[in-house]
Amino acid sequence: MHAIILFAHGSRDPLWHKPIQAVAERITHRSPDTVVRCAYLELTEPDLPHVANALVAEGATSLCVVPMFLGVGRHAREDLPELITALKAAHPSVDIGCQPAVGEQHALLDLLADIALGQANNAA
């Protein structure tokens, strides 16, 4: 089984995670056979190791971590690679990959520009 983990920062605000969960729901709607879970770095549960461990226990043989960070700061550059290294060590028979942060994806940058232009055009 292949699984996607949407990985975000986390927040004390109990509503903060709703957009991340909405992305997971859209993935499920578009691809019902795709297993997708959300995980968080801090302040929100569950964390990445718990989600990865649960997916492996459910039979996942491949995990793709998608960092849901717009900016590529210390968490994406340092914390996440350390977590991925630890997961690979804990699950050597599982193919564990990590995409670039969403903020580095040209498709998202173009979409954000389109949204801003649409809002700018509506205000004029």
pLDDT 10s digits, 8-67? 998 999 898 899 999 999 999 999 999 999 999 988 899 999 999 999 999 999 999 999
Strands (E), 1-124: 2-8, 35-40, 62-67, 95-98
Q: Is 91 a catalytic residue?
A: no
Give the global pTM: 0.90
Q: What is the pLDDT of residue 14?
A: 85
Q: Per-residue pLDDT for 122 more than 70?
A: no
Contact 55, 35 (CB under 8 A): yes
Q: What is the pLDDT of residue 101?
A: 93
Neighbours of 101 (CB within 10 A): 21
The ranges assigned to domains in the chain are 2-123
Q: What are the Cα distances from residue 118, in Å, to 52, 63, 111?
A: 38, 36, 10
Is the domain spanning 2-123 CATH 3.40.50.1400? The answer is yes
Q: What is the pLDDT of residue 120?
A: 55
Q: How far apart are CA 94 and CA 101, in angstroms?
A: 21
Q: How many CA atoms lie within 13 A of 108 on its CB side?
A: 11
- Catalytic hit among 2, 9, 50, 75: 9
What share of the chain in percent tops pLDDT 70?
A: 93
